[in-house]
Amino acid sequence: MARSTSRATSGFVRAGFDGVRSAFVENFAKRRELGGACCAYQNGQPVVDIWGGCRNGATGDPWEWGTMAVIHSASKGFAAMTLAIAHSRGWLDYEARVADYWPEFAQHGKDRVTVRQLLAHQAGLFAIDEPVDRATVADLDRLAVVLARQKPAWPAGERQAYHALTLGFYQGELLRRIDPQRRSLGRFFHDEIAVPLGLDAYINIPDSIPNAHLATLSPPGWLEMLLGFPVRLTLATMNHRSNVYRALAINPGTAVYLDADRIYARNLEVPSGGAIATARAVARAYGAFANGGRELNLKPGTLALLAAPAIPSAHGFYDECMKGEAQFSLGFMKPGKTWRFGSASAFGAPGAGGAMGYADPTSGLGYGYVTSRMGTSLSADPRDAALRRALDAALAWFSPGGRLVA
């Protein structure tokens, strides 16, 4: 292992992966990184585990070994993992109707929505029309009633629209219905994934986590957003009737996980956007999924479905919220024209601002990147992309068995 000598970074990289460390250092010099971490597991072993910079831009507090940050929509990967475990245990059929497990869900013509369609953002349930605040999110029984009453924007499978926050709430209630212990999704993730794998990651942040272990997230300025986001999307976010505004800004809105005193709200589950994690935890979790899932007792049939190509809606992969193409399958993002990562069998989840995690069964790779400064790219963040390019270059020198080749 080669130890980092840069003042900006700590950690290690395996011999042959020094380019990833160099890209990480360059992120601070060239890509305005404030603080963050990158980790990769290959064939179950860590090959990159580096961190550096500041976890808090206002105070200058350093990013440390165990610093966790909110990962926004990269949280969707953790949520999808819980349902994959339920599938492996025979509790869930991806092709079944959601209403088979949750009868009240069938209201307003939702009786034909399949689990697969819901997890592919093809259920037309990207927004909630009723007022939903933090108290509603915290009361899972009350939230379930609201979710079941929601009228879809179109018939199941007709179009795709990013269920930015709602997907996790629907997943959470579905999991409660099929889990014999009726655990919440956050509790299930903790019990069945985080504890067995030893992850510093939470969907429901307990009171015991001190502020000193958490990175704040510095938002981009207005000029950065205007220059960074596509014009069509920027205009849509200003229109209070647009799909993306309804999906992101209200009922409950993406800021619901924030807390003025505790950085992130405690004992509140936002499975599609409020998870916190170290990069190490993201990479370790995906590494388990990339290498047969033995620690989690995942079945080969489940993993084969996750690796399979995404199935488009009747109108293709064009997303009515994000105004561009994206491919989703069984709760994960799949690589496509807009998002390129790993091989065709890879699956993962990016997060607004830059976080990214994915599993690639072809290379046996689990990858994670987290940051304390939000970027503005709708495809791969330049910092994440630079790290993954360096990682891909390193992997190109390795055989499937993990040995260096000429």
* pLDDT tens figures, 305-354: 999 999 999 999 999 998 899 999 999 999 998 899 999 999 999 999 99
DSSP class of 293: -
Say what the pLDDT of residue 223 is: 53
Beta bridge partners of 69: 277
- Helices 166-178, 75-88: axis angle to 10 degrees equals 20
Q: Are the CB atoms for 53 and 8 separated by under 8 Å?
A: yes
58, amino acid identity? A
Strands 2-3, 201-202: parallel, antiparallel or unpaired by DSSP?
unpaired
Helix (H) or strand (E) holding 267: none
Say what the pLDDT of residue 3 is: 42
Say what the pLDDT of residue 6 is: 42
- Helices 166-178, 140-149: axis angle to 10 degrees equals 110
Q: Are the CB atoms for 288 and 295 separated by under 8 Å?
A: yes
Number of C-beta neighbours around residue 260 at 10 A:
6
312, burial (CB in 10 Å: exposed 0-12, middle 13-18, buried 19+): middle
Structure tokens at 364: 């046996």
Residue 218's nearest CA partner among 33, 405, 19, 25 is: 33
Cβ contacts of residue 264 below 8 Å, gap of 6+?
70, 205, 214, 257, 258, 274, 276
Say what the pLDDT of residue 255 is: 94
| Rounded-to-integer distance, Cα 272 and Cα 159, Å | 20
Q: What is the dihedral of CA 284, 383, 163, 314, to 10 degrees?
A: -100
Cβ contacts of residue 398 below 8 Å, gap of 6+?
16, 42, 404, 405
Look at residue 232 and give its three-state secondary structure.
helix
Q: Are the CB atoms for 368 and 281 separated by under 8 Å?
A: yes
Residues with pLDDT less than 70, the chain: 1-8, 220-237, 398-406
Rg (CA), the chain: 20
**Polymer length in residues for the chain:** 406
Sign of the Cα torsion 338, 340, 345, 351 reads negative
Say what the pLDDT of residue 221 is: 64
Say what the pLDDT of residue 239 is: 79
Q: Among all chains, which residue has been given the structure tokens 């970027």? A: 375
| Rounded-to-integer distance, Cα 291 and Cα 359, Å | 9
Q: What angle do CA 346, 349, 352 make, to 5 degrees?
A: 145
Q: Among all chains, which residue has been given the structure tokens 């009786």? A: 111
Q: Are the CB atoms for 282 and 46 separated by under 8 Å?
A: no
CA distances from 286 to 76, 231, 268, 300, 372 (A): 12, 34, 24, 15, 21
